[in-house]
C-alpha cells in the first residue's frame, strides 16, 4: 500500500500511518515532507487566491476555480528576482514563507517569494468531488500550466516587471515539477532548484528497497541481519493459529488474523506496512524536523538489541514505537478497509487528505511502486508490482490496470526522463545518498549548465529545510553551491 514518494517541497508543501502513513509513504512516499521548524513566533502569512482554468488543454472549456497561494515580499528589492516554491502532493503550509532554505536565498538576493499549492491538494479544489471523471484534470501537465498562468498573473497583481527573473524551487514530486517547469516554460522560468525529484517514471521501483537496505547498513550489517531473522519468524508464526494470535498481540493488530477472513492481500499489506516503517525513517532520516527524531540509529539500535528478546519481538517494538509516534491506536493491515477509504470521493471525508489524489497520479502517470521483490529476504516477497497494480484497479476501476504502462511511457516521452540534464540549462539536481528516491533522479551530469549535487549522508529533500547546527558539512556545502548557482543564473539572460 504505498509507493513512498514524495511530497516534495520547495516548491513543496508536505505530507505522509502505520497502514495509512506507510500507504502514502509508498505512494509518494507519501507526498509530504512536513513543515519546517519555526525558531521564532511569527504572524501567520495570509492565504491568497488565484483564478485558474480547469482544463488548460481545452480553450473551449470555460470552467475556472480558485487556487491557493502565499506571498512574502518582506525581502523584495526593486528589480529583484522572484522565487516560487511549488506545492506537491499535500496541503501548502505558509510556514515555508517564513523559514526554509528558499527564504534564506530570498534574503540573500532581495527576492519576492511565493508558494503555490498544487491543484487537487489542500484547499485548491477544482471540482465538486474526487470522482474518476473529475480526477481527469489532475496531472503534472495541468499543474505546470497552472504555474505558468500564475506567473503571468502575478506580474499584474503585484506589479512585478516582466523583466524579473523567476526561479522555481521544489522537492520530491514538486522537485520534478521544478525541473520540468524550466524545460517546458523557459520564457517564464529562468532557473530551477530540483531537490530529490524523481525524473524517471517507473512502474516497478525495485531499487527503492535496495537503497533502504544499503542505508540501514550505514548503521550496521547486524541491523539488516536482524530484520531478515525477524521476517523469517513472522513467516513461521503466520502459518499456525497460535503464532497468528501471538503476532496480533505483539504488533497490536486492529483485527485478528483469521484463516477464513484474512486474505493474501491482507498479508501482503501487513508485510508492506512493516517494511514501510523502516523505509519511511530512512527516507526522512535527520531532516531537521522535531517529528523526525526517530532515525535509522533509533530503529537499528532496537532491532539488534538481544536483551529485548528474539528478533520478532524487536520488530514489534519498532512497529509499536512508530504507532505511538503517529498517534495510532492499533496496526490496521486490512486491505479492503484501505481500498474502501480510498474509494471515498468526498473532499471533506478523506481519512488521509491527498491519498486518493496521489494514488491516482501514480496509477496514471508515474508508477513508483516500491516492491519487495529485489529484497525478498529482508521484507518478504509478498508485495510485488502486481500487488500495487491491483490497487489501481480496485480503487479506480479495471481499466486502470491496463493503461498504466502507456501512462508511464507517456510521462517519460514528454518530460525526457533522465536525459533531461543533457538538454536543459539553469537547473540544479540535488539528491542525498540515504534517500531511496535518488535512484530515479539525476545524480550525475556532464552538462555544466545543469549540474547535479549528490550529498553523501543526507536523506529526502534535506537541503530544503532551514539550516541546523547539526547539518553535515556536505549539506552545508551543497546549500552554498546552490546559492552560487542562483547568483550565476541571475547574472545571465539565457532563456533556453
| Residue 308 phi, psi dihedral angles, 5° rounding | -90, 5
What's the CA gap between 147 and 17, in Å, rounded? 31
CA angle 270-385-402, nearest 5°? Answer: 125
* Coil/strand/helix, residue 165: coil
List the catalytic residue out of 118, 204, 460, 471: 460
- Please pick, among 16, 94, 172, 319, the residue that the annotation labels catalytic: 172
Which residue in the list 435, 438, 445, 471 is annotated as catalytic? 435
Do 154 and 82 form a contact (C-beta atoms < 8 A)?
A: yes
Among 104, 42, 470, CA closest to 292: 470
Question: If you count them, how many residues does the chain have?
Answer: 496
- Please say whether the beta carbons of 140 and 365 come within 8 A: yes
Query: Is 435 one of the catalytic residues?
Result: yes
Q: Which long-range contacts (CB under 8 A, 24 or more apart) does 396-405 make?
A: 396/132, 396/135, 396/360, 396/363, 397/132, 400/363, 400/364, 403/364, 404/203, 404/363, 404/364, 404/367, 405/203
**C-beta separation of 88 from 8 below 8 A:** yes
According to DSSP, the residues that pair with 453 across neighbouring strands are 430
225, HSE (Cβ side, Cα atoms, 13 Å): 7
Distance CA 309, CA 327 (A): 25
CA angle (35 as vertex; 31, 39 as ends), nearest 5: 165
Cα distances from 244 to residues 37, 230, 239, 320, in angstroms, run 41, 15, 7, 17
Q: Using an 8 Å Cβ cutoff, are 91 and 13 in contact?
A: yes
Q: Report DSSP state, residue 400.
A: G
Q: Are 168 and 102 in contact (CB under 8 A)?
A: no
Q: Cell triple for residue 346?
A: 468526498
| Grid cell digits, residue 364 | 496514471
Widest CA span of the chain, in angstroms?
73
Give me 246's grid cell: 501471538
The set of catalytic residues is 172, 435, 460
Amino acid at each position: 500500500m504505498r509507493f513512498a514518494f514524495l511530497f516534495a517541497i520547495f516548491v513543496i508543501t508536505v505530507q505522509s500511518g502505520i497502514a495509512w502513513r506507510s500507504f502514502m509513504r509508498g505512494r509518494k512516499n507519501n507526498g509530504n515532507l512536513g513543515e519546517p521548524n519555526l525558531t521564532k513566533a511569527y504572524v501567520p502569512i495570509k492565504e491568497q487566491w488565484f483564478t485558474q482554468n480547469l482544463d488548460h488543454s481545452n480553450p473551449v472549456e470555460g470552467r475556472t476555480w480558485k487556487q491557493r497561494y502565499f506571498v512574502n515580499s518582506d525581502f523584495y528589492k526593486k528589480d529583484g528576482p522572484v522565487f516560487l516554491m511549488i506545492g506537491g502532493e499535500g496541503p501548502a503550509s505558509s510556514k515555508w514563507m517564513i523559514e526554509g532554505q528558499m527564504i534564506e536565498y530570498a534574503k540573500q538576493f532581495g527576492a519576492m517569494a511565493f508558494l503555490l499549492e498544487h491543484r487537487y491538494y489542500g484547499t485548491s479544489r477544482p471540482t465538486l468531488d474526487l470522482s474518476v471523471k473529475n480526477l481527469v484534470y489532475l496531472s503534472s501537465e495541468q499543474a505546470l500550466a497552472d504555474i505558468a498562468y500564475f506567473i503571468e498573473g502575478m506580474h499584474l497583481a503585484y506589479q512585478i516587471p516582466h523583466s524579473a527573473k523567476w526561479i522555481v524551487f521544489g522537492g520530491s514530486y514538486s522537485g520534478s515539477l521544478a525541473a520540468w517547469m524550466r524545460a517546458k516554460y523557459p520564457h517564464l522560468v529562468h532557473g530551477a532548484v530540483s531537490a530529490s525529484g524523481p525524473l524517471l517514471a517507473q512502474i516497478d521501483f525495485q531499487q527503492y528497497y535496495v537503497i533502504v537496505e544499503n542505508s540501514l547498513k550505514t548503521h550496521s550489517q547486524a541491523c539488516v541481519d536482524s530484520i531478515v531473522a525477524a521476517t523469517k519468524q513472522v513467516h513461521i508464526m503466520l502459518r499456525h493459529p497460535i503464532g497468528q494470535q501471538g503476532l496480533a498481540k505483539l504488533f497490536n493488530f486492529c483485527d485478528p488474523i483469521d484463516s477464513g477472513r484474512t486474505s493474501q492481500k491482507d498479508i501482503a499489506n501487513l508485510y508492506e506496512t512493516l517494511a514501510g516503517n523502516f523505509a519511511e525513517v530512512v527516507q526522512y532520516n535527520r531532516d531537521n524536523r522535531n517529528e523526525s527524531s526517530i532515525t535509522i540509529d533509533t530503529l537499528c539500535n532496537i532491532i539488534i538489541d538481544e536483551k529485548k528478546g528474539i528478533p520478532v519481538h524487536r520488530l514489534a517494538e519498532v512497529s509499536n514505537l512508530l504507532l505511538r509516534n503517529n498517534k495510532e491506536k492499533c496496526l490496521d493491515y486490512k486491505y479492503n478497509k484501505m481500498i474502501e477509504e480510498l474509494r471515498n470521493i468526498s473532499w471533506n471525508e478523506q481519512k488521509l487528505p491527498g491519498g486518493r489524489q496521489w494514488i491516482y497520479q501514480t496509477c496514471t502517470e508515474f508508477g513508483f511502486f516500491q516492491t519487495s521483490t529485489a529484497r525478498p529476504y529482508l521484507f518478504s516477497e509478498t508485495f510485488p508490482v502486481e500487488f500495487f497494480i491491483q490497487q489501481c484497479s480496485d480503487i479506480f476501476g479495471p481499466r486502470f490496470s491496463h493503461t498504466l504502462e502507456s501512462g508511464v511511457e507517456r510521462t517519460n516521452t514528454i518530460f525526457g526522463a533522465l536525459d533531461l540534464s543533457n538538454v536543459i540549462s539553469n537547473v540544479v539536481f540535488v539528491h542525498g545518498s540515504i534517500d531511496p528516491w535518488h535512484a530515479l533522479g539525476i545524480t550525475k551530469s556532464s552538462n555544466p549548465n545543469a549540474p547535479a549535487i549528490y550529498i553523501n549522508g543526507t536523506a529526502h529533500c534535506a537541503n530544503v529545510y532551514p539550516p541546523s547546527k547539526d547539518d553535515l558539512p556536505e549539506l552545508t556545502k551543497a546549500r552554498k553551491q546552490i546559492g552560487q548557482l542562483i547568483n550565476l543564473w541571475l547574472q545571465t539572460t539565457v532563456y533556453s
